[in-house]
């Protein structure tokens, strides 16, 4: 793992216009593991102009050739699996086993899926006396978060490239190293110069410049709802489309008669994965009054198996959160939950034993949580589970839908039809039934304040296309 002291622009690594840099820290021990350039508006402008110049040629490239380049990208990512995993472990703190399967294998699979979709997608159709074409929207500005640093890059870049768009990527400043690895893989895969460009930098400078650039045709952003709102306002001023994947406060609803032990165990695992830094995590567990005390006991037992430790160790299940600021945010919410009157049944705001150095947070479970509490309404983005009680099915629906978010969720039932009927009543974009596995071909995105648009699969490709009809 070696950081580039440069930007990837127009097919080459080029020095930044300025001299400022960003330190990348290992959240497990707080050491500096790399530095990358802190790009500014001038760097963004150079990258956007390179993307604009490359757009006509790439848009005119046959879908089969675009698919071939994406297939080569998939192969390059697969070949660098261990390097990707080790890099994510160092800059994010994800346990190595999770880094291999989720942070390396998943984005590789997504890149491969778009190699297939690009080859098979109907970019043209006949409708009566019209020919309808799906054409690339143009230059895409992609701004990605730190929590799934490669997956989020691929989830934007792969469909955009499959559609015939060119891309300028601004990755999160906490996790820029794996984005540099992605740029290397793009280069090795043989994409033409300017089709993909990388500018590292701070969100308030490089990110804002990219979102506001007049030559960017679409902005795709994943991150907080507050920042997404600002990006949407900028795009609205310029009358340009946006794709926004924002926050979540997903409900995990366990209906009476479901396998309670399994539902609680899987629910706890879902929240603790990636140290709780997952926008779609089921952070609110809803349990019927008759089973509530048993569910709380099971949750406390389950979370005890998540002992924070060195993410490089093969048996570590939970590592640190990404930064000191994130640790302060999460522990602040834990303290607020106690003040609000929730019952702390596991964890707490103090550092885990033996993990005083690094940005570790104790895996935490709250009981006695009411829907109006901040810990039940606001996105914490850490290993914190709230367990809420409901009286009947209608009450469960009310509580589940009672936040501004609507990204994901889960339903458990002994009867699949009952689970589906309940899921259809939820104001959320994705629901897992009885622990259904994540599907990288299914559309991902939210209702309400959780975003605009969809990622992954054919729906994800459609975000980067615009429609033209010819009448005969």
Note whether 59 and 16 are same-domain residues: yes
pLDDT tens per residue across span 18-57: 999 999 999 999 999 999 999 999 999 999 999 999 999 9
Q: How far, in Å, are 251, 367, 403 from residue 373 at the CA level?
A: 15, 12, 11
Rounded Cα gap, residues 361 and 382, in angstroms: 8
- List the domain range (segments joined by +) for residue 434: 251-439
pLDDT band at 234 (very low <50, low <70, confident <90, very high): confident
Catalytic pick among 91, 279, 355, 455? 279
pLDDT of the residue at 2? 65
Evaluate whether 464 touches 140 at the Cβ level (below 8 Å).
yes
- The answer to whether position 266 is within a domain reads yes
Rounded Cα gap, residues 89 and 86, in angstroms: 5
Evaluate whether 344 touches 364 at the Cβ level (below 8 Å).
yes
pLDDT of the residue at 235? 87
Q: Stretch 233-244: mean pLDDT, rounded?
A: 92
CB atoms < 10 A from the CB of 399, how many? 20
Q: Which two tokens stand for residue 211?
A: 């979102």
Note whether 375 and 351 are same-domain residues: yes
Q: How far, in Å, are 12, 195, 270 from residue 49 at the CA level?
A: 14, 11, 42
pLDDT band at 1 (very low <50, low <70, confident <90, very high): low
- The answer to whether position 372 is within a domain reads yes
Note whether 99 and 138 are same-domain residues: yes
Note whether 417 and 433 are same-domain residues: yes
Catalytic pick among 173, 205, 245, 389? 245
pLDDT tens per residue across span 187-223: 999 999 999 999 999 999 999 999 999 999 999 999 9
For 219-241, b where at least 16 C-beta lie within 10 A, e where not — what string? bbbbbebebbeebbeebeeeebb
Is 279 designated active site?
A: yes
Residue 411, domain CATH: 3.40.309.10
- The answer to whether position 1 is within a domain reads no
Note whether 221 and 260 are same-domain residues: no
- The answer to whether position 293 is within a domain reads yes
Q: Stretch 385-406: mean pLDDT, rounded?
A: 98
Rounded Cα gap, residues 105 and 108, in angstroms: 5
pLDDT tens per residue across span 131-158: 999 999 999 999 999 999 999 999 999 9
Is 355 designated active site?
A: no
CB atoms < 10 A from the CB of 293, how many? 12
pLDDT tens per residue across span 126-135: 999 999 999 9
pLDDT band at 339 (very low <50, low <70, confident <90, very high): very high
Q: Stretch 239-248: mean pLDDT, rounded?
A: 95
Q: Which two tokens stand for residue 182?
A: 């992605």
CB atoms < 10 A from the CB of 11, how many? 17
Nearest in space to 346 (alpha carbons), one of 381, 374, 308: 308
Rounded Cα gap, residues 76 and 189, in angstroms: 7
Rounded Cα gap, residues 34 and 27, in angstroms: 13
Note whether 331 and 375 are same-domain residues: yes
- The answer to whether position 230 is within a domain reads yes
Note whether 159 and 262 are same-domain residues: no
Note whether 226 and 323 are same-domain residues: no
- The answer to whether position 272 is within a domain reads yes
- The answer to whether position 2 is within a domain reads no
CB atoms < 10 A from the CB of 424, how many? 9
| Number of domains into which the chain is organized | 2
- The answer to whether position 445 is within a domain reads no
Ramachandran class of 257: left when φ > 0, alpha when ψ lies in -120 to 50, beta otherwise: left
Q: Stretch 172-177: mean pLDDT, rounded?
A: 98
Rounded Cα gap, residues 7 and 44, in angstroms: 10
Q: Which residues contact 439 (CB under 8 A, 6 or more apart)?
A: none
pLDDT of the residue at 211? 96
Note whether 276 and 393 are same-domain residues: yes
Note whether 192 and 316 are same-domain residues: no
Residue 241, domain CATH: 3.40.605.10
Note whether 286 and 400 are same-domain residues: yes
pLDDT of the residue at 356? 87
Q: Stretch 300-319: mean pLDDT, rounded?
A: 96
Sign of CA pseudo-dihedral 273, 276, 281, 283: positive
**Single pTM value for the model:** 0.97
Note whether 432 and 456 are same-domain residues: no
Evaluate whether 44 touches 169 at the Cβ level (below 8 Å).
no
């Amino acid at each position: 793992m070696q950081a580039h002291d440069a930007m990837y622009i127009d097919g080459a690594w080029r020095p930044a216009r300025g001299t400022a840099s960003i330190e990348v820290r290992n959240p497990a021990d707080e050491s500096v593991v790399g530095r990358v350039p802190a790009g500014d508006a001038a760097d963004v402008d150079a990258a956007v102009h390179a993307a604009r110049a490359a757009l006509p040629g790439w848009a005119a490239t046959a879908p089969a050739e675009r698919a071939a380049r994406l297939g080569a990208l998939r192969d390059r990512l697969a070949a660098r699996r261990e390097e990707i995993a080790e890099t994510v472990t160092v800059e994010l703190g994800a346990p190595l086993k999770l880094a291999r399967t989720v942070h390396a294998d998943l984005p590789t699979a997504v890149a491969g899926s778009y190699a297939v979709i690009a080859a098979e997608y109907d970019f043209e159709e006949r409708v009566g006396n019209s020919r309808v074409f799906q054409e690339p929207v143009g230059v895409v500005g992609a701004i990605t978060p730190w929590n799934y640093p490669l997956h989020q890059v691929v989830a934007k870049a792969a469909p955009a490239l499959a559609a015939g768009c060119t891309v300028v990527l601004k990755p999160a400043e906490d996790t820029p190293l794996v984005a540099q690895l992605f740029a290397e893989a793009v280069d090795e895969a043989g994409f033409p110069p300017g089709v993909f460009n990388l500018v590292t930098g701070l969100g308030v400078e490089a990110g804002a410049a990219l979102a506001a650039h007049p030559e960017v045709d679409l902005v795709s952003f994943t991150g907080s709802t507050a920042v997404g709102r600002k990006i949407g306002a900028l795009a609205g001023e310029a009358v340009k489309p946006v794709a926004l994947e924002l926050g979540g406060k997903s409900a995990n609803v366990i209906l009476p008669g479901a396998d309670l032990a399994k539902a609680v165990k899987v629910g706890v695992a879902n929240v603790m994965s990636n140290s709780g830094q997952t926008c779609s995590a089921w952070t609110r567990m809803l349990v019927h009054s008759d089973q509530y005390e048993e569910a709380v006991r099971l949750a406390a037992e389950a979370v005890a198996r998540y002992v924070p430790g060195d993410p490089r160790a093969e048996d570590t299940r939970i590592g640190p959160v990404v930064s000191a600021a994130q640790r302060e945010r999460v522990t602040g919410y834990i303290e607020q939950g106690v003040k609000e009157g929730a019952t702390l049944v596991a964890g707490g705001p103090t550092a885990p034993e033996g993990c005083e150095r690094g940005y570790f947070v104790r895996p935490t479970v709250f009981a006695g949580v009411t829907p109006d509490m901040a810990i039940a309404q606001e996105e914490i983005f850490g290993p914190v589970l709230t367990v809420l009680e409901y009286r009947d099915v209608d009450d469960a629906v009310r509580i589940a839908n009672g936040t501004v978010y609507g990204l994901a969720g889960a339903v458990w039932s002994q009867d699949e039809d009952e689970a589906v009927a309940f899921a259809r009543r939820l104001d959320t974009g994705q629901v897992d039934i009885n622990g259904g596995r994540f599907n990288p071909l299914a559309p991902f995105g939210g209702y309400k304040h959780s975003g605009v648009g969809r990622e992954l699969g054919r729906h994800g490709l459609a975000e980067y296309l615009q429609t033209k009809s010819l009448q005969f």
